[in-house]
Amino acid sequence: MKFSNPMIIFERKPPRLNSRMLASFVLKASSAAGLRGEVSVLITGNSNIRHLNSRFREKNQPTDVLSFPAAPSAKGLAGDIAVSLDIAASNARLLGHSVSDEIRILILHGILHLAGYDHESDRGEMAKKEILLRRRFALPTGLIERSFPRAARKPAKAAPLLARPRR
């Protein structure tokens, strides 16, 4: 199944990252994750991501990445991903890698959620897949490894599934 280029929307423009480069990464990462359907990506700031997180997850705080799976009836669409450039830039500084790499790490995390993975309930499957794909794309330490350092080594206890969107 061939898809057109993903829609990339920059409300905030990251340094050294253009829409063509990011769209190419989204296509490759989606294919590698086994995701079927088109993905759109919004790069925004903390204010908008806080609004989205509050509206859809009832958490009135900014977050790094949100995934919004498409409705099953939306043929050809996989879903949407929103990334906070503010948090990506801060994480990149703290971890010593580029903002561009951090944005791709966050998008990869979001793509895995759109593909049906859920690190809060899948006993480490998403962590393993994220590590594999992060290495394939030569990306630094992934989001799950930072948040749950033992996730890739030891299965987690099952947790209730979160309603859309997924983080």
Q: What mean pLDDT comes out for the span 52-80?
A: 93
- Give the integer Cα–Cα distance in Å for 160 and 144: 18
Tell me the pLDDT tens digit for each residue of 35-48: 989 999 999 999 99
* % of the chain residues with pLDDT over 70: 82
CB neighbour class for 23 (10 Å; exposed up to 12, middle 13-18, buried from 19)? middle
Are the CB atoms for 34 and 138 separated by under 8 Å? no
Question: What residue has token string 């997180």?
Answer: 53
Domains detected in the chain: 7-117 (3.40.390.30)
Neighbour-count burial of 55, counting CB atoms closer than 10 A to its CB (0-12 exposed, 13-18 middle, 19+ buried): exposed
